[in-house]
Amino acid sequence: MSADTILEAQGLTMRFLGLVAVNQVSFALARGEILGLIGPNGAGKTTLISLISGTLLPVAGELLFEGRSINGLPPHARAHLGIGRTFQVMKPFPRLSVLENVTVGALFGFGGGEHNRSKAREQARALLDFTGLQHRVDQHADELGGPDRKRLELAKALAMKPKLLLLDEVMAGLTHAEIDEVVEIIKKIRDSGITILVIEHVMRAIRSLSDRIVVLHHGEMIAEGMPDAVLADPRVIEAYLGKRRA
Residues that bind ligand ATP (CB under 6 A): 16, 19, 21, 39, 41-47, 88
Q: Report the partner that residue 13 touches, choosing among Mg ion, ligand ATP, none (CB closer than 5 to 8 A by kind).
A: none
Q: Report the partner that residue 34 touches, choosing among Mg ion, ligand ATP, none (CB closer than 5 to 8 A by kind).
A: none
Query: Cβ of residue 232: shortest distance to ligand ATP, in angstroms?
Result: 21
Phi first, then psi, for residue 85 (nearest 5°) are -145, 160
Query: Cβ of residue 117: shortest distance to ligand ATP, in angstroms?
Result: 35
Please say which residue, 41 or 192, places its beta carbon nearer to Mg ion.
41
Q: Report the partner that residue 123 touches, choosing among Mg ion, ligand ATP, none (CB closer than 5 to 8 A by kind).
A: none
Q: Report the partner that residue 124 touches, choosing among Mg ion, ligand ATP, none (CB closer than 5 to 8 A by kind).
A: none
Please say which residue, 114 or 168, places its beta carbon nearer to Mg ion.
168
Please say which residue, 98 or 167, places its beta carbon nearer to Mg ion.
167
CB 14 within 8 A of CB 47: yes
CB 82 within 8 A of CB 110: yes
Please say which residue, 45 or 136, places its beta carbon nearer to ligand ATP.
45
Q: Report the partner that residue 151 touches, choosing among Mg ion, ligand ATP, none (CB closer than 5 to 8 A by kind).
A: none
Please say which residue, 48 or 73, places its beta carbon nearer to Mg ion.
48
- Measure the CA–CA gap between 118 and 140, rounded to whole angstroms: 20
Q: Nearest-CA neighbor of 147 among 187, 189, 177?
A: 177
**Residue 207 is inside which H or E element, if any?**
helix 203-209
Please say which residue, 45 or 150, places its beta carbon nearer to ligand ATP.
45
Query: Cβ of residue 42: shortest distance to ligand ATP, in angstroms?
Result: 4
- Measure the CA–CA gap between 172 and 176, rounded to whole angstroms: 11
Q: Is 75 left (phi over 0), alpha (psi -120 to 50) or beta?
A: alpha
Residue nearest to Mg ion (CB): 46
Phi first, then psi, for residue 42 (nearest 5°) are 80, 10
- Measure the CA–CA gap between 87 and 150, rounded to whole angstroms: 9
Binding residues vs Mg ion (CB under 5 A): 45-46, 88
CB 25 within 8 A of CB 221: yes
Q: What DSSP state is assigned to residue 138?
A: T
Distances (CA, A) of 234 to 217, 230, 242, 243: 13, 9, 11, 14
Q: Report the partner that residue 19 touches, choosing among ligand ATP, Mg ion, none (CB closer than 5 to 8 A by kind).
A: ligand ATP
List the beta bridge partners of residue 212: 35
Query: Cβ of residue 137: shortest distance to ligand ATP, in angstroms?
Result: 30
Query: Cβ of residue 16: shortest distance to Mg ion, in angstroms?
Result: 14
Query: Cβ of residue 131: shortest distance to Mg ion, in angstroms?
Result: 21
